[in-house]
Structure 1
Amino acid sequence: MNAVLKPSNALNSDRESGDLVRCENLTKRYGEFTALSNCTLQVRRGEVFGLLGPNGAGKTTLIRTLLGYLYPTSGRCSIAGLDPAENSVAVRREVSYLPGDARLPRHMRGKGLLEFFAEMHPSGDRDRSFAVADQLELDLTRRVAFMSTGMRQKLALAVVLGPRTPLLILDEPTANLDPTVRATVLDLVTSERASGRTVMFSSHVLSEIEQTCDRVAFLRKGQLAHELALEDLFQRHRVTARRTDQSSEPLPIPSELA
């Protein structure tokens, strides 16, 4: 007989609050190596929350622990009031997740693959996946084995953006894409927020975070180094220019120089 796991009172309070995701002193160690150390953060419902940091900073470890793929060494986390360490299947019903190293069945054609994943997920939406593929100008008649790396990334995005889950987690979603397609992906993220979804967006490119996120957390060597709202980040990246008429006006620093 299958046991039904009920959230604790603490996790029930997460459901009643404005936070969809919570981490409290979350730590993950592999032997003597600490991949994530005492991470505490909250992601509010309906916002785009950025995870910024270099490769190896702990972003993917945090995401995989939230989804229940990894068990924390200490601390706790929850999604929609559910503890992934106790009820990971229920957590994944709430989430559509794009991993940084997405692997797709190479023998399938794009069209069949989108239909397969739409049927697999409880919130799958075949028409939505096809619409995203069309927006990304993806040829769905090809087999995955004969697609370029960029095409496979587009296909993975179409898979993930189809299900209408409360939470969308994207781990380096613009990797291997050309600048034009990157801009389209960022527009899609903004559209998801406008539809009421919550998005966690992992990247090591500051300009992408600036364009899409409401708040951002900076991870460095497994530690949460800083967290702030994007409006505060913009305020910090301003300089004052002196004109010839002696008037002064704040000018933004281009993101590539930030």
Structure 2
Amino acid sequence: MPHPLVHDSTAFDPAEAIVHTIGLSKRYGDFDALRDCSLNVQKGEVFGLLGPNGAGKTTLLRLLLGYLFPTAGSATIGGLDVSKNSVAVRRLVSYLPGDARLPRHMRGRGVLEFFAEMQPAGDLQRSLKIADHLELELKRRVAFMSTGMRQKLALAIVMGARTPLLILDEPTANLDPSVRGLILDMVADAQSEERTVIFSSHVLAEIEQVCTKVLFLRRGIIAHRQRLDELKQRHRILAQLEPNTLEPSFSVPAELKGQVEINTFTPPAEPNTRWVRMDTAGDLTPLLPWLSQLPLQRMRIEPLGLRAIYDEVHIGSTVENPPSTGGSQ
């Protein structure tokens, strides 16, 4: 039986999808870079992609843009087949690759002018405004820019274009925390303009902040889908059991079945103690009377968050560190 955290919690309406894939796959010899990927990205949402290096995120993005041809399956953007109409598809998309390369001999402003002319939806004034907001020195040649400055320049190009779809592959890489916050604000602004964003990142906090749905990839396969509004209704309870407590004494009552999943463990730092982890779904109110009757010594309740889902998908069940202070929290 699958773990209750790892399930498909998203419901898609293909009629409202700007991105639609069916069984999309890419194989290199005996290696599946992406296998049987079927998804829909709805218009106006921020769709997150999560997974470690090699999970298939960049392969998926390059297939969507027509840079790679699929071994099997199909994909459309705006109703256009990405393999048969790749040029038309790119008019709808502004893409930030994870390894953006810019003309090193050109100055920053010249790069913005060049790409604004190349992209039918390019908007030089908008790109200049973004560059100014990011405090980017445009008189400097790309060759003499730092890695962070080049990332800012690439973002000004991509975010400046008025396309209905933005595809951002690790957009905050090489940026300091304050600038990362500005980029996340820009993503939120794009959504408020009813643009669609596909956001690939290793930083869970960024995904939680801006995304409406998240797709977890593992070894080229979709491992989990998650709506962020549903995740915010989930909590994790960690508590130390009183000595000599028998497990049946904290079993879930029938009326709460399906709302809470229980696992016990002994943390390595406290080998003489026994702890219980409870992952809950929905409102906590029905659980509180039951929790008050359990033989617990220390307890903390926290939002479940993407970290717990990520660990469940990619690592398996983990042993948490117990609270560092006594008493209920």
Q: Verify: 1:164 aligned to 2:162, yes or no.
A: yes
Q: Choose the corresponding residue for 2:66, options 61, 65, 68.
A: 68
Q: Deviations over 1:40-78 (max 9, x none)?
A: 110000000000111110000000000100000001110
Paired with 1:21 and 1:256, the residues of 2 have a C-alpha distance of 27
The secondary structure found in structure 2 opposite 1:218 is strand
| AA of the residue aligned to 2:191 | R
Specify whether residues 204 and 100 from structure 1 end up closer, same or farther in structure 2 by C-alpha distance, changes over 3 A only. same
> 1:40 matched to which residue of 2?
38
1:93 is displaced (CA, Å) by: 0.4
Alpha-carbon displacement from aligned partner over 1:114-168 (angstroms, at most 9, x marks no partner):
0111111101100110111111111111100000000000000000011111100
Deviation at 1:250, TM superposition (A): 5.4
Q: What residue in structure 2 maps to residue 120 of structure 1?
A: 118
**Residue 201 in structure 1 maps to residue 193 in structure 2:** no
Structure 1 runs of 4+ off > 3 angstroms?
236-242, 248-251, 253-258
Number of residue equivalences: 240
Equivalent in 159, 181, 184 of residue 182 of structure 2:
184
TM-score w.r.t. the length of structure 1 is 0.88
Q: 2:303 aligns with which of 236, 252, 255?
A: 252
Q: Which one has more relative contact order, counting CA pairs under 8 Å at least 6 apart? A: 1
Say whether residues 1:83 and 2:81 are aligned partners.
Answer: yes
- Describe the SS at the equivalent of 1:116: helix
1:4 — aligned with what? none
User: Over alpha carbons, which structure has the higher Rg?
Assistant: 2
Aligned partners of 1:170 and 1:150: how far apart in 2? 16
For structure 1, list consecutive stretches of 5 or more residues without a partner in the other structure. 1-15
Deviation at 1:217, TM superposition (A): 0.2
| 1:240 Cα deviation after fit | 7.6
Counterpart contact for 2:231–2:305, Cα < 8 Å: no
Q: Equivalent pairs: percent with the same residue?
A: 64
Specify whether residues 146 and 212 from structure 1 end up closer, same or farther in structure 2 by C-alpha distance, changes over 3 A only.
same
Which residue of structure 2 aligns with residue 93 of structure 1? 91
Matched residues in 2 for 1:148 and 1:103: separation?
13
Is the 8 Å Cα contact of residues 235 and 301 (structure 2) preserved in structure 1?
no
Q: CA–CA distance in 1 between the matches of 2:24 and 2:308?
A: 33
> What are the ranges of 5 or more consecutive residues in structure 2 without an aligned counterpart?
1-13, 240-287, 293-298, 310-329
Distance between the aligned counterparts of 1:105 and 1:47, measured in 2?
A: 32
Q: 1:87 to 1:255 in 2, by over 3 A?
A: closer
